[in-house]
Amino acid sequence: MEGMFGNLAIGFAEVFKLQAVTVAGIAMTLPFNILMCLIGCLLGTLIGVLPGIGPVATIAMLLPVTFNLSPIAALIMLAGIYYGAQYGGSTTAILVNLPGESSSVVTCLDGYQMARRGRAGPALATAAIGSFFAGTVATLVVAMFAPPLAEVALKFGPAEYFSLMVLGLVAAVVLAHGSLIKAIAMVILGLLLGLVGTDVNSGVLRFAFGLSELADGIGFVTVAMGMFGICEIIANLEQKEKREVFTSKVGKLMPGKEDFKRMVAPILRGTVLGSCLGILPGGGALLASFGAYTLEKKVSKYSHEFGKGAIEGVAAPESANNAGAQTSFIPLLTLGIPSNAVMALMIGAMMIQGIAPGPQVMTERPQLFWGMIASMWVGNLMLVILNLPLIGMWIKLLTVPYRYLYPSILLFMAIGVFSISNQPFDCFLMACFGLLGYVCVKLGCEPAPMILGFILGPLMEENLRRAMLLSRGDPWVFVSPSKPISMGFLIAAVALLVIIALPALRKKRQEVFVEET
């Protein structure tokens, strides 16, 4: 224990240390690393708020800048961009129903509804508070349990991942508040759309009809902007009376006492779920955020409010995704394995600096390792200090008449989507998904389960086929006693499906009884 505090002390010393730098020709002593953290957080928040532009593109663009910085300063700044983008992405999810990151999709569901009812302030505050708490706890988790957690992560093979994703998709069905069958169908539709592109296992280009633009699949941003953004704008514009989208009766900026009471448990549950699932490379943080939502919906006594602006529906996923963002550093820092595209860039940045990412970083470069961990907490602190006062500004923004808001949103969306590969095709796809989303909403089918299926589909297939390859075609590998984790997830998935289906079945039976009497 003392060892850990000693290490954290090294880390904080590194983060706060004063360095002699020359800025614009003037030599001065600054706490340079803190400054880098601040710049990273600011930049991250900005790109998180701008729809369509994400941390991957920004970090990639800034890599040359980091060449001239010391390794710790470079990594601190890049990490700041990463979770700054998480905070910023939650902001757009709540304000305009646009998920900045894939793990903010779930926040759109209740966060946006809260904003429409004049509760944007409490929603944003809940997101910030929940994220900060989760970030703090997760940082401690990383500090204390990084190596053993990494070992756990290694135990997850393709079979375990597949089963986890099956569980996740069943949970996705819970997201919908309408018809169960249609929700499952939307999930499957999402899975299918996610398969467009190059198949990992065979290299074949699927469902692309010769269009080279589809060779890498349809991007998440394109689908999200289309189904959440464009669809929402069209839906708002088609109201016959000129009604303002956001009630002009702007509520309080801060959550009330009742709100605070309600957000405590979801934040705790979300943090635990996020910390656990974030360590899994490839989709951990995303699964955590909507797993947390599902859990809350099933457990909360306000579950009827979910989908209409329940504060738990913001608190839980936000805590989960921020905890997941912190713990996703674990595979990077301990094993040198990236959990997502941003981590892969960090590895690149480290390698350029001459640092080989891997287990020896902890022992050979303790200042770097512990400095990074300390900076994670400092970054979270900076972000919560930054974001809380900004809430007032965001709320003012929402009072702008919708006829000014929506062209601006549309322009930023178009710019963001275009910048994915500098081609008009992605905007064309966005418009197509906008149309699809519009049709689906008219037909009573919800986009949220579809988009989750879309993200998880290719991962599921990849892991299914790999598990079958490794087991030489034995389908029982998923429930074999030698793989308790996989079996556990599948059992949980079946149990969850039963829990979901039971009320619906009971209702049908009651209806039949009523008709018969």
Partner 1 sequence: MAIKIKSQQDWWAGWMFIAFGVFFIVVAMGTPEFINKIFGGAKLIPGYQLGSSVRMGPAYFPVVLGGMLAVLGLLVLFDSIVEEGPKVAKFHFRPLLFIAVSSLAFAYLLKPLGLALASVILVFISAYGGHEFKIKEVAIMSVVLVIFSVLVFVKGLSLPFPVCPSFIEICPIR
Partner 2 sequence: MRRLLAFAVLTALAGAAWPQAWPSKPLRLVVPYAAGGPIDISARLLASRLQEPLGQPVVVENRPGAGGNIGVDLIAKGPADGYALVMSAIATLAINPSLYPSLPYDPLKDLRHVTLLVQVPNVLIVANDVPATSVRELIELARARPGKLDFGSGSTGSTGHLAGEMFKMMTGTYMVHIPYKGSAPALADLMAGRVQLMFDNLASALPSVKSEKVRALAVTTQTRSGFLPQLPTLEESGLKGFDMTTWWGVSAAAKTPQPVVDRLSAEILKAMDAPDFRERLRAMGSEPPAIRTPDQFAAFVAAELKTYTELVKRSGAKAD
Task: Name the site residues for partner 1 (rule: CB under 8 A).
Answer: 46-47, 50, 53, 58, 61, 179, 181-182, 184-185, 188-189, 191-192, 195, 199, 201-202, 204, 206-207, 230, 233-234, 237-238, 242, 402-404, 406-408, 410-415, 417-419, 422, 424-428, 430-431, 434-435, 438-440, 442-445, 461, 464-465, 468-469, 472-473, 475
Where in 359-378 is the site for partner 2 (CB under 8 A)?
A: 359-360
CA distance 398 to 249: 11
Residue 443 contact partner, candidates partner 1, partner 2, none, CB within 5 to 8 A by sort of partner: partner 1
- 349 neighbors 332 (Cβ within 8 angstroms): no
Q: Helix 180-194 vs helix 158-175: angle between axes, to the nearest 10 degrees? A: 130
- Closer to partner 1 at the Cβ: 201 or 360? 201
Smallest gap from residue 514 Cβ to partner 1 (A):
14
**Which of 2, 9, 3 shows the shortest CA–CA distance to 370?**
9
Residue 466 contact partner, candidates partner 2, partner 1, none, CB within 5 to 8 A by sort of partner: partner 2
CA distance 270 to 292: 5
- Closer to partner 1 at the Cβ: 186 or 286? 186
Binding residues for partner 2, rule CB under 8 A, total 52
**Which of 460, 472, 452 shows the shortest CA–CA distance to 186?**
452
Kindly state the DSSP code that residue 245 receives in the 8-state scheme: S
Which of 10, 42, 46, 63 touches partner 2 (CB under 8 A)? 63
Which of 24, 25, 26, 203 touches partner 2 (CB under 8 A)? 203
Interacting stretch for partner 2, rule CB under 8 A, among 166-174, 197-205, 312-320, 400-408?
197-205
Q: Helix 55-66 vs helix 32-49: angle between axes, to the nearest 10 degrees? A: 150
Where in 310-339 is the site for partner 2 (CB under 8 A)?
A: 331, 335-338
Which of 121, 229, 357, 447 touches partner 2 (CB under 8 A)? 357
Amino acid at residue number 416 = G
- Closer to partner 2 at the Cβ: 175 or 429? 429
Between CA 327 and CA 196, with CA 59 as vertex, the angle to 5 degrees is: 80
CA distance 327 to 100: 20
- Closer to partner 1 at the Cβ: 145 or 425? 425
CA distance 58 to 85: 10
- Closer to partner 2 at the Cβ: 480 or 510? 480
- 106 neighbors 316 (Cβ within 8 angstroms): no
Q: What are the residues facing 198 on neighbouring strands?
A: 205
Does the protein bind partner 2 through residue 67 (CB under 8 A)? yes
CA distance 247 to 228: 20
**Which of 181, 163, 183, 188 shows the shortest CA–CA distance to 173?**
183
CA distance 314 to 308: 11
Smallest gap from residue 358 Cβ to partner 2 (A):
3
Q: Under DSSP, is residue 100 helix (H, G, I), strand (E, B) or coil?
A: coil
Which of 282, 381, 431, 432 touches partner 2 (CB under 8 A)? 282
CA distance 94 to 248: 16
- Closer to partner 2 at the Cβ: 336 or 437? 336
- 100 neighbors 290 (Cβ within 8 angstroms): no
Smallest gap from residue 233 Cβ to partner 1 (A):
6
For the window 146-165, what string marks contact with partner 2 as x by the rule CB under 8 A? --------xx-xx-------
Which of 28, 200, 385, 501 touches partner 2 (CB under 8 A)? 200
Smallest gap from residue 447 Cβ to partner 1 (A):
13
- Which uninterrupted H or E stretch holds 186? helix 180-194
Does the protein bind partner 2 through residue 353 (CB under 8 A)? yes
Which of 31, 251, 348, 488 touches partner 2 (CB under 8 A)? 348
Smallest gap from residue 503 Cβ to partner 1 (A):
16
Residue 352 contact partner, candidates partner 2, partner 1, none, CB within 5 to 8 A by sort of partner: partner 2
Provide the CA 300 distance to its chain's centre, in angstroms.
22
Smallest gap from residue 213 Cβ to partner 1 (A):
12
What phi and psi, each to the nearest 5 degrees, are found at residue 27? -85, 130
- Closer to partner 2 at the Cβ: 198 or 247? 198
For the window 472-491, what string marks contact with partner 2 as x by the rule CB under 8 A? x-------------------
**Which of 323, 325, 299, 322 shows the shortest CA–CA distance to 310?**
299
What phi and psi, each to the nearest 5 degrees, are found at residue 49? -75, -35
- Characterize the bridge pairing of strands 197-198 and 26-30: unpaired
Q: What are the residues facing 222 on neighbouring strands?
A: none
By CB under 8 A, name the binding residues for partner 2.
56-57, 59-60, 63-64, 67, 154-155, 157-158, 197-198, 200-205, 212-213, 215-216, 281-282, 331, 335-338, 341, 344-345, 347-349, 351-354, 356-360, 421-422, 462, 466, 469-470, 472
